[in-house]
Amino acid sequence: MNLPLNIVIGNAISLIAGIFIILSMWVNDEKKAYFYQFLNAFILIISSVFFLSWTGVTTMAIAAARNLMVYKDRLTFEWTVFFIIISIVLGLLVNTMGFVGLLPIIAIIQITLCNYYLKSIKTIKTSFIVNSGIYIVYFFAILDFSSAVIESVTALIGLISLTRLILAGKNSD
């Protein structure tokens, strides 16, 4: 196993995934946002393998499945509970990184609850921004610099997009 090569490959794959996370923040349509979130999580499964982050692989697989269910309007309360329980159990079982390995678990629980309870694009964008903050710390900790930078840009784009939505709402009142 060549760790420096893995880090380079993982960062390249994460860069591709980052395009979709940025698109999810930019769009103002809930369905499109969740579809882009699905693509991001799916691609991050692959990059997490290169970073040897088994918690990342597990939580991104769960996130991809959950985002697909949200996209197809099939995330029920029962599925929400299932995703939270499976995230905690599997995440803890594969965690080899201590506290750092808990961050994806915390992030997936936070966004899963938001996926179920939040319905307006403003609150959804806010939950994406909070989730980005958690992942920024995690990505820096596992040396996934491209994801950390993209997640930072994503959070900034999300803030700009959210601000525009709020201002547009005030102007239309």
Q: What is the pTM of this model?
A: 0.82
Over the stretch 30-83, which tens digit does the pLDDT of each residue have?
899 899 999 999 999 999 999 888 888 988 999 999 999 999 999 999 999 999
pLDDT in tens, 84-108: 999 999 989 988 889 998 998 999 9
Whole-angstrom Cα distance, residue 83 to residue 77? Answer: 10
pLDDT at 141: 93
Residue 74, phi then psi, degrees to nearest 5: -120, 10
- Looking at the structure of the chain, the number of domains it has is 1
Q: Domain of 137?
A: 3-172
Cα→Cα distances 127→113, 138, 144, Å: 10, 17, 22
